[in-house]
Each structure stands twice: as C-alpha cells, then as structure tokens.
Structure 1
Amino acid sequence: MRDERPNGRCGGRNARTRVLLVFTAVGAVLAALLHDPGAPVTGRPVAVPAPSAASSASSSERPTRTAEPAPAPDPCAVRAAALPLRARLAQLLMVGVDPRGTADALRVVQAEQVGGIFIGGEDTGLLTGGLAAVRAAAAVPLVVAVDDEGGRVQRVEALDGPLPSARRMAADMSPEQVRAVARDRALALRGRGVSMDLAPVVDTSGQPDRTVIGDRSFSPDPAVTAAYAQAFAQGLHEAGVTPVLKHFPGHGNTNGDSHRGAVTSPPLEALRRTDLLPYQDIGRYGRVVVMLGHIDVPGLTGGRPATLSAEAYALLRGEFGFTGPAMTDDLGAMRAVTDLVDLPEAVRQALTAGADIALWSSGGRTGEVLDHLEASVASGALPLARVDEAARRVLGAKDAC
C-alpha cells in the first residue's frame, strides 16, 4: 500500500515528538510532586518555575543569619560580683545581737556589714527604738529578723500582746482568721523595723505540747498544716515581712531536741508521707526563706545534721523546686551541731553544702568566722561559685539589686 502522507520521515518525527512530549509532561508532574507532595496530579504539563537568582547564588553569596542577642545579665549576680569577697561573704551571715539596745547591733553592722541581724531573747529595748540607726549603717539593705511564731516562741508579746500557739490557732481559728492575725502582728513588727519572721513552723506533729515542736505545729495532718502555714505566710507578706518556713526536712517527729543533742527523724520515705508534704507546691507560700533543721534523716543525710548535708539541700532544690534562700537553724547554740564542730567551721560546712544564710543567735565571733571563710575560699574548701550563688539569692530576696 502506498504511503498517503507527504513524507514518511515526517511521520516518524511526529511520533518521536509525541513521545518526547509525554516524557516532558511526566517529568513536570514528578517535579511538581517533589516540590509539593500534596499538589493534585492533573495529567497536564506543570510549569516548574526557574530557580531564582537568590536560590542559585553560591553559599558564599547568601546572607548570614543575625546572631541571637545575648541574654541580659542577672542584676543580682552583677551586684554580688561587684562586692569585695569579704563583703560578699558577710551578706551570707545572720548574727544574733544584744536585744537590750543599739550598741551591739551597730558595732556588728559597721564593722563587718553583715547581711542580717537576729533579735532574740525577752528584752525588747532594740525593738522600741534604734533600728533605724542600725539600718542606716548598712551599705547593703539589712535584714532584721525575729522568731515570732506565737505560743512559747514569740518576741513582742510584752509590746504588742500575745499570739496563740500554732496548735491553738488551728483548733480555734479558720485559716482566714489566722491570715488576719499574722498580718496584724507583721504590721506591728514592720513598724518596729523588723523585716523577717522565722515563722511559720510547717513541721507536722502530734507530740505533746512541750516537746521540741509539739504545739508549735499546726497539726499532725500535713494538709491542715499546709493550709494554716500558707495563711500565716500570706498575712506576713501583706505587711511586708518575709516568712521563713521551718524546719526542713521535718522536726515534728524526731526522737529528741536538737537544742540538746543529735536527733534522728523517721526515714526519708516516712517523711515523704508527713513532714515533707507541706513543701510540695512551695510557690503557694509566696517569696519565702526555708530553714533547715539539725536533723539526721536516715536515707538522706548519712548521719549528719541536714544543715550540713549537701543531700538535704539538693532535695529541697531538686524534688521541691525551691529557688529562694535556704537558711540554717542556729549554728552557735544548738548541740546537734556544736557537739560536732566549732562555729566558724560549721558556717563553712553549711555554706559549702548549700546554705545561703548561716544563722547563729549567740552573736560575736563575726570577724573570726569571716577570716575562716576567706581562707576557705582561698584553699578551695568553700568554692567561690557557691559563694556567688548564695550572695545572688540573698541580694535578690531583699530586693538589693
């Protein structure tokens, strides 16, 4: 049969052209799918955009990403670092002073610029005038502390009337009433120049009233204790007084009195069901300090008082997420510590373990303690990073930066 097409070779070219168009269309579809896997496939040739000048440029021609700005420095860390070492160490000390008048407190603050003073005892001379002069002598804002819990531990009863014990408050008052009582007491304390109250007690205890904790505890029930302690702390906050929760990890069920000698609590796992429960969700108390007690906790402190135990501070910081200052119980007048180690070394061990504030109510020896701490930093026995961390927390807690 004769070929009717004008040129048989032209028909071959048309066939090849059709094949080429099919491959071109398939290639375009594949390119589109690679560019956008979710795009619909229509069977029609898909236009693939040519690469832009920017995308085809070499990597050396591409603009570099702007570096993220460095975070702003912590002002409290900056303020702490600006202090000479001895002054930085002094901010970590809370020293007991003679409550009868201003002379002793002025001497301690002027000589060593300590971070805080503690007013204990029954005399109220210093609380009836003179604290303004003591505060004015401080280059960095000074903490003035008392332990005014109510019941058998209170400082201004003769001036401002008595407070019931924690146990009596929980029995006779609602949490809201306790908040109001604590606020009124804190207003009186603040008016006298006090800025910190070593209260409330958050130990859980059902022991008799006159035992070491006894009626200083709101309740043996952790939930009741937490509710009343929170109310007390809130009342203090409302008047501008810093609360101190005590005595971590729990003194309410110990086998003795740490004022008189070594004491042991139930094992750590038992404390998790009692004394440690009020420390859960610690942010509910607002900005507070936590005081550690001189308590040996089986399964945690390895035979040492919690105040000198790195494991106890790690528990407070880690499991309970506390970021504020941690404070020791009295290092100078309680035999659970003084039977083990002399005051300057007790302060050094406490700070090294994780304390931010070292307290001794007996006063005196401030220069000796600071000499020992400076030597300990020089030898590496007290890491400088630990000093800086503690100073940052202390300055931040009193809004000094």
Structure 2
Amino acid sequence: MKSRIVAALTCTALLAGCTSSPQPAGTPPSAAPAPRGSTEAATPAPDPCAPVIAQLTPRQRLAQLLFVGVSPTDPAAAENLVRTEQIGGIFIGGNPTNLLRDNALAPVQQAARWGVAVAVDEEGGRVQRIDQLDGPLPSARAMAATMTPGQVRVLGQKRGEELRARGVTTDFAPSVDVSAQPDDGPIGDRSFSSDPAKARDYGLAFAAGLRDAGITPVFKHFPGHGHATGDSHEGAVTTPPLDSLRTNDLVPYEALASFAGGEVMVGHLTVPGLTGGQPASLSPAAYRLLRTGYGFTGPVLTDDLGAMRAITETYRLPDAVLHAVLAGADQALWSSGGTVGPVLDRLEAASASGELPAARVDEALHRILPAKHAC
C-alpha cells in the first residue's frame, strides 16, 4: 500500500494532467437527471470506433493487431506492406536510417487507410536509432546518475520532437526494469536504477517528455526483466516469484493507471506463481495482472515474437501470434522470422472456427484505433 501511495504522489509531482482539474468558477452545474421513464437516460453513448471498424474487412481487423518489423533500407517495401495488408504498426530496427531520412515515411503513412503506428526503440545508450542523425542519447543509467527527473523529461521531449520530425509515432521506451546488472548485462544500463522508486520516477519522466512531443511511450518489459536469469533473446528466462516482483520489479507499474497516453510491452518472462511455466507474453494471467492488478487500460503489445529464442524455440510465429492475442495482447510484435500472410491466414482460420472470439478482436481494436487517433 505504501508503494502505491508513493507512486500516486510521484505521478502528481511529475506529470501535468494526472489528476482532474477543479471545476472553474462560473461553470454551470451538471444537467438534472432525466425524469423517470425518460428514454434519454437509457440511450447509450455512441461508439466512435464502431463506424471505423465497420469499414474494415475481417482480415483487415486482424491485420490491425499486428506490429511488424520492416527493413530500414527499403522504404518501398514498407509502403507496399502497409498498402496491401493495412497492418496496425511497423517497427524500424537496426542502424540503417533510410526510412528515417528525407520524409521517407510519408508515403508509408499515406498508404494506411486508418493510420499506421511507426515505432523505433530509442532508449538511449546502446539502444538507439537516430543517434547518427540527431546525436547520441545517454543510457538510462547515465541519465539517472547525472540528471534530475525534470531534466530527463526535457531530454525526452527533445528526443520525441526529433523522432516526430522523422515520421515516428511510437517509442519502445522507457525500460522501467529494475536492475543492478553490469552495464553490458541483458538489461544493465538500460535500467534507470536498481531502486524501484527511482526507476519509476525516471521512467515516468522520460515517458512524459516523449508524450509532450506527441510520441507514444511504451513501458517495458512487464512484469520485469531486471532480476531475471538469462536473456530472452537467447532462450527461456525466469524471474523471481511473483511475491518478490510485487515489492521490486513491479513497483514502476503501480503509477501507470494514472499515466494517460502510454502503452505497455509484455516480456517473454516465465514468472513462478503467475504464468504457469509459460512466457508472460503468452500467459492470460500476466495480462490479467496488468489490467486488474495494476489498472492499466491502454494498449498492450508483446515483445518480439519472431527473433527471440524464448519464443521461437517452442512456437512457430503464426501460433505464437495467435496465443498472444488469445492471452490478452492487443498487438503482436515481430521484427523478423516470418511474413504477414501466414500469420493472417492462421488468425483468420482461428476466427472462423471460433478459436479466436470476435469479442477479443473487437476489444483490441477499441484500444488500438483510438491510440492512432483513427476514431
């Protein structure tokens, strides 16, 4: 309980808009309740996403649930993929920057009838994409060691403005993992701190700066990679038991219910006492914990399902995507390891058979589309 109170106070101090403003003087009172028997009170509010979803074919609805890696060296291929399949998001990894130069993303965005999220993982330090274009960013650990949260927010806003100018809409950052690993560890200097409260405060500050610039921040890697054994890029990874995570790795997530405009990435982490031997990214219990235990209502996506052995050693990509969506992911991410067609074929077959309920797809669309301002 104490950590929840601290998180709430921290959010109030760091983030403008975390709490509602008092009613201004002179504001007229709310309308009186409708008289008994009035049909007005029973009329539900219109669903702004319903007419948008109605425009999508069944395959396009499923395509919106995909976040697909594209080659940074081939803008034409990215444009063709978006135009042909109308996927929900593209991810630009690696060091080449062709897609981030000369307004190359404009035709890609124009090819998307309902908009497309364009993501990079711009954390700073050893994980950044535009350092060759706009200068380097210090690692999270270096930020926390040399700057105040306020300064980190300003830095995040500046970086966000640079990303926005290049056509990026989403940053797979900050990492709010709590870690004391050496700098070159799987998380290492990607973590702001081994102190959960400090990792929370600095992560929120960087995320708020990105949001100030119009970039969607993505908090990762839920429920916490900082104390896990191994690297999910290389194989299966196990965290400490859930009870231990609650007082350490999960502390940063206590503030997210009050942070509007962010998303969460779920890692491929096996959690004793939670996931039943499954990676969290494929575990319904992990998504329930995030939604009901930590009150997060925004979009949730997986870590990379196509290039990380914690998944690929056990699952084919189409099956991994289906399992993730069934578990509660709104979008399934992969950077490599498969093409879109077979994945959509698998999702379509599951939808037709009832294995993938229409309500699960609709629930995801009602988070994905508003985040892109499509409805």
Structure 2 length normalisation: TM-score? 0.88
Q: 1:216 to 1:92 in 2, by over 3 A?
A: same
**Separation of aligned partners in 2, 1:64 and 1:250:** 51
Unmatched segments (≥5 aa) in structure 2:
1-34
Partner SS, residue 315 of structure 1: helix
Matched, 1:165 2:165: no
| Runs of 4 or more above 3 Å deviation | none
- Listed one character per residue, the Cα deviations across residues 143-173 of structure 1 (whole Å, up to 9, x for unaligned) are 1000000011000110011111100100011
Cα distance in 2 for residues equivalent to 1:112 and 1:363: 18
In 1, Cα distance between the equivalents of 2:71 and 2:188? 28
Secondary structure, counterpart of 1:350 in structure 2: helix
1:281, distance to aligned residue in structure 2 (A): 2.7
The answer on whether the counterparts of 1:199 and 1:244 sit within 8 Å (CA) in structure 2 is yes
Asked whether the 8 Å contact 2:153–2:206 carries over to 1, the reply is yes
Q: Deviations over 1:108-143 (max 9, x none)?
A: 111101111000000001100310011111111111
Contact 1:146 1:155 in 2 (8 A): yes
Report SS of the residue matched to 2:333: strand
How many residues end up aligned between the 2 structures?
A: 339
Unaligned residue ranges in structure 1 (runs of 5+)? 1-62
Q: Which one of 110, 115, 132 corresponds to residue 106 of structure 2?
A: 132
SS of aligned partner of 2:49: helix
CA contact (8 A) 1:245 1:291 kept: yes
**How far is 1:75 from its partner?**
1.1
Distance, in Å, in 2 between the alignment partners of 1:77 and 1:179 is 36
Q: Distance in 1 between matches of 2:117 and 2:306?
A: 19
Matching of residue 289 in structure 1 with residue 263 in structure 2: yes
2:285 is matched with: 311
Larger radius of gyration: 1
Partner of 1:383: 357
Aligned partners of 1:176, 1:302: CA distance in 2, in Å? 40
CA RMSD of aligned residues (A): 1.3
Shift of 1:363: 6.6
Assess, with a 3 A threshold, how the Cα gap between structure 1 residues 131 and 206 changes in structure 2: closer, same or farther: same
Identity %: 60
1:362 alignment counterpart: 336
Distance 2:270 2:329 in 1: 16
Return the offset for 1:372. Answer: 0.7
Looking at structure 2, the residues matched to 378 and 331 of structure 1 have their Cα atoms a distance apart, in angstroms, of: 23
| Partner of residue 37, structure 2 | 65
Cα distance in structure 2, aligned partners of 1:389 and 1:77: 12
User: Distance between the aligned counterparts of 1:66 and 1:381, measured in 2?
Assistant: 41
Q: Does structure 2 retain, via aligned residues, the 8 Å contact 1:95–1:363? A: no
The answer for the alignment partner of 2:192 in structure 1 is 218
Deviation at 1:364, TM superposition (A): 4.8
Question: TM-score under structure 1 normalisation?
Answer: 0.83
Q: Return the alpha-carbon distance in structure 2 between the equivalents of residues 259 and 370 of structure 1.
A: 24
Question: Post-superposition shift, 1:197?
Answer: 0.2
Paired position in structure 1 for 2:32:
none
Could you tell me which residue of structure 1 aligns to residue 235 of structure 2?
Answer: 261
Alignment partner of 1:352: what SS?
Answer: helix
Letter in 1 for 2:138: P
Asked if the contact 1:87/1:112 (under 8 Å) is kept, the reply is: yes
Q: Assess, with a 3 A threshold, how the Cα gap between structure 1 residues 159 and 378 changes in structure 2: closer, same or farther.
A: same
What does 1:222-233 align with in structure 2 at a 5 Å threshold? 222-233=196-207
Counterpart amino acid of 1:119? I
Q: Deviations over 1:337-366 (max 9, x none)?
A: 001100001000000000001100117510
Relative to structure 1, is the Cα distance of residues 158 and 64 closer, same or farther in structure 2, using a 3 angstrom cutoff?
A: closer
